[in-house]
Structure 1
């Protein structure tokens, strides 16, 4: 009976911690694309000085963005880059991102080494 009570208490504690996690994590850090400077745009993943300058230029030329999807109209922001930017951009509110976002790179070397293990002209053995 005691073990059952401890298990229930531990489960309740875990649930409470999980429920409180978003509040503990704080507000999401974002860049407001309609007010950001080139330096603030460079805090975003995969955005360097050239693309940041094009983002500012596009906004100055055409006015504020009405949709985040329109970021893909800027040369240097394709669908893949846009998907990585989405969690860090907003159309309104303050810019709260203060550090460069560094995303982990996909391990391409592992995929290449698996393919190169098989002798030329012979498929790799499964199993």
Structure 2
């Protein structure tokens, strides 16, 4: 009787393991892949406008994604520049309206709220 139970158990185990490769190929995503994809989306930082920084980084691949400091609107600054929302975009425009157009991109550091670190992070996204 014991031999019959062990034989049955061995047979069931063998059949179960033989279908494992088929089940692994049919699975669209493992639990770890789903958890990784979900956490990557959840961890993407966002700015005040609500767009993710990852989307901004992706948009920076073309020259069209650069913002002209003398003609851009506050929304343009907020959309293209990392760490700049509507308030800082409006501060840039206010500075430009009061003192005239920028003659060098480095002058952007003179705008209240735009420090050296923020400028360095975004200087590749700016043009005259």
State the TM-score, normalized to the length of structure 2.
0.49
Q: Which has the higher contact order (CA 8 A, sep 6+)?
A: 1
**TM-score, normalised to structure 1's length?**
0.50
Write 1 or 2 for the structure with the bigger share of helix. Answer: 2
